[in-house]
Amino acid sequence: MVEEDPGVSIGTLARQSGCKIETIRYYERIGLICSPPRTAGGHRVFATADRKRLTFIRRARALGFTLGGVKELLRLVDSGAYGCAEIHDLAAGHLKEVRGKIAELQRLEATLSDMTSHCERGERPDCPIIDALSDSLVGKPRA
Amino acid sequence: MVEEDPGVSIGTLARQSGCKIETIRYYERIGLICSPPRTAGGHRVFATADRKRLTFIRRARALGFTLGGVKELLRLVDSGAYGCAEIHDLAAGHLKEVRGKIAELQRLEATLSDMTSHCERGERPDCPIIDALSDSLVGKPRA
DNA sequence: CCTTGAACCTGTAGCGACTACAGGAATGAG
DNA sequence: CTCATTCCTGTAGTCGCTACAGGTTCAAGG
């Protein structure tokens, strides 16, 4: 029962995982994935496990996890005996952050929306948007 | 009618404008504000106009404008003869970006919310969150 | 006038998460 | 065997600051 894993080049892995070549090398450099074996000429040879790991990373990143968060997730997965609890807490914590960002952006949206609605693109020199940003008048730079 | 502007130190300006000292120096370096005159010993001396300009910048940044966007706004203001139209368009463009980011984050929120709700922090080894991220099984790193 | 301590100066490096070169060497299909 | 393609390393750039280190200047008190 010899399980052969022919191995793929970094370019093939990039196509399979959806990560760019440079990103894969970057992940290796920062220790997110392990350094793969090389050919006699020095080219990286990746295994199926690497494709799965990279796909995992890409999906977690797409959900907005930081690389630090991804590292945590992978650490739990790598440890084997992960319980749902820790994973859940990581995801819940991230969800909270995302909701915070949404709330913040919605505040900006309201302000910007209000500002632009008050400015009807008129040709008056006293633009309400500028007024809102200015302290009565913006200091011009030294001539 | 001699208008005196005694001038303030960078620390005072920082307190007045709400920008940090290092940030002010950084803005000077990238040309967002002009290099102020110096004392004999080389300390910067800022004028009232600088306080107004920095306050403007800080407010625009707080609304999420990039420094590039701020530069554009200031260019229009500096040119003097700005019409509302250009300002409006800049703000409207930024508003559109903010709305796009909100929509994107809301998609993440929905996915994360769904994932965490399916995981009840049980002690099962097959966590639904991990399953969702994995390609059936995450490849473990080489031993 | 002199001392002290706070504030200021320059220059550089670091953050996150890549991306983009330059200048080569290896690969693999014809 | 040729040659286009892929791959290699190393470095620097992106954005918007922030944080040093190691020195100089300023202003207030004695």
Residues 6 or more apart in contact with residue B117 via CB below 8 angstroms: none
Range in A29-38, B64-73, B79-88 with the lowest mean pLDDT: B79-88
Question: Would you call A109 and B95 a contact, using CB atoms and an 8 Å cutoff?
Answer: yes
- B19 pLDDT more than 90: yes
User: Could you tell me which CATH number the domain at B1-65 has?
Assistant: 1.10.1660.10
- The domain made up of A10-133 has a fold known as Multidrug-efflux Transporter Regulator; Chain: A; Domain 2 (1.10.1660)
pLDDT at B3: 59
Out of A60, A112, A137, whose CB is closest to B94?
A112
Question: Could you say which residues from 103 to 142 on chain B have a Cβ atom under 8 Å away from some Cβ of chain A?
Answer: 105-106, 108-109, 111-113, 115-116, 119-125, 127-130, 132-142
Q: How far is the CA of B21 from the C1' of D20 (A)?
A: 14
pLDDT at B122: 65
Q: Which among A75-79, B3-7, B27-31 has the top mean pLDDT?
A: B27-31
- A141 pLDDT more than 70: no
Tell me how far apart the alpha carbons of residues B40 and A104 are, in angstroms, rounded to a whole number: 45
- B71 pLDDT more than 70: yes
Residue A140 pLDDT class (50, 70, 90 cuts): low
Question: Would you call A82 and B56 a contact, using CB atoms and an 8 Å cutoff?
Answer: no
Nearest protein residue by Cα to C1' of nucleotide C19: A22
Residue B138: its chain A contacts at CB < 8 A? 52-53, 56, 74, 77
pLDDT at B104: 96
Phi, psi of A112 (to 5 degrees): -65, -40
pLDDT at B134: 82
B8-17 long-range CB contacts below 8 Å, 24 or more apart?
B8/B45, B8/B46, B8/B51, B9/B43, B9/B44, B9/B45, B9/B46, B10/B43, B10/B44, B10/B46, B12/B46, B13/B46, B13/B50, B13/B51, B13/B54, B16/B51, B16/B55, B17/B51, B17/B54, B17/B55, B17/B58
Contact criterion met (CB below 8 Å) for B27 and B71: no
* pLDDT tens sequence across A95-135: 999 999 999 999 999 999 998 888 776 666 678 888 888 86
* pLDDT tens sequence across A37-73: 999 999 999 999 999 999 999 999 999 999 999 999 9
Residue A134: its chain B contacts at CB < 8 A? 52, 55-56
Tell me how far apart the alpha carbons of residues A64 and B118 are, in angstroms, rounded to a whole number: 19
